[in-house]
Amino acid sequence: TVLIQISTDFVFAGTGNQPLVETDPAEPISVYGLTKLEGEQVIAPLTDKYFILRTSWLYSEYANNFVKTMLKLGRERDELRIIWDQVGTPCYAIDLAGCVLTIIETQSTAYGIYHYSNEGVTSWYDFATAIFELSNTTVKTVPIRTAEYPTKATRPAYSVMDKSKVKQALGVAIPHWRTSLQTCLGRLG
């Protein structure tokens, strides 16, 4: 039996400016990040046959997420204030599911922790403007600092993850975030 767990960029403090590798120290800055890290740490003593896939900024055409929220707010409001000083990489859930299927279908034994999100780097602000551009939604966007938009869970300011290990060990091809966003928006209609 092989265990596959989905984890998060929230296990990192996000204070650096270089893509995070799997061996970088995990230093969560929120309760959510701490519980995800604890979940990762529970696995190793139980089995050596596991894959932990850390992802970030997950979205799809299903459930509530940033893309669907921006589309809704873009239709309802004249102006949106969006954080520009948090940088990361969105991950289309369908692409992440494809990575999971690759692990299952190939019966990979390259167990361990991997980073998976789409390729490229963006801010929440630039991600939102791409959503509006690709969906032909007209709304004024105003970049704001994180401090101007307090949230329950503190997010890492920099959560770009290096995907070299997952590409090499599992042979997965990872699309650019903008390409996957366009696919998602097409499915949303």
Q: What is the per-residue pLDDT across 10-31, written as a single tens digit (0 to 9) for each?
A: 999 999 999 999 999 999 999 9
160 vs 180: CA distance, rounded Å: 17
- Assess whether 92 carries a catalytic annotation: no
Identify the three-state secondary structure at position 82.
strand
Q: What are phi and psi of 188, to 5 degrees?
A: -75, -20
Report d(CA 151, CA 168) in Å as an integer.
36
136: left (phi over 0), alpha (psi -120 to 50) or beta: left
Supply the pLDDT for residue 152: 77
Set 32, 114, 116, 158: catalytic member: 32
Q: Classify strands 122-123 and 87-88 as parallel, antiparallel or unpaired.
A: antiparallel
Query: How many whole angstroms separate alpha carbon 20 and alpha carbon 54?
Result: 11
pLDDT tier, 52 (very low <50, low <70, confident <90, very high otherwise): very high
Whether the pLDDT of residue 155 is over 90: the answer is no
Enumerate domains of the chain plus CATH numbers: 3-188 (3.40.50.720)
Read off the pLDDT of each residue in 132-161 and give the average, rounded to a whole number: 92
In Å, what is the CA distance from 155 to each residue of 43, 57, 117, 171? 24, 11, 16, 30
Rounded to two decimals, what is the model's pTM? Answer: 0.94
User: Using CA atoms, how far apart are residues 129 and 28, in angstroms rounded to an integer?
Assistant: 29
Tokens of 101: 């299927």
CB 125, CB 161: distance < 8 Å:
no
Note the pLDDT of residue 150: 80
Q: What is the pLDDT of residue 79?
A: 97
Query: CA 74 to CA 33: how far, in whole Å?
Result: 29
Per-residue confidence band for 38, with pLDDT thresholds at 50, 70 and 90 = very high
Burial of 123 by CB count in 10 Å (0-12 exposed, 13-18 middle, 19+ buried)? Answer: middle
* DSSP code, position 46: T
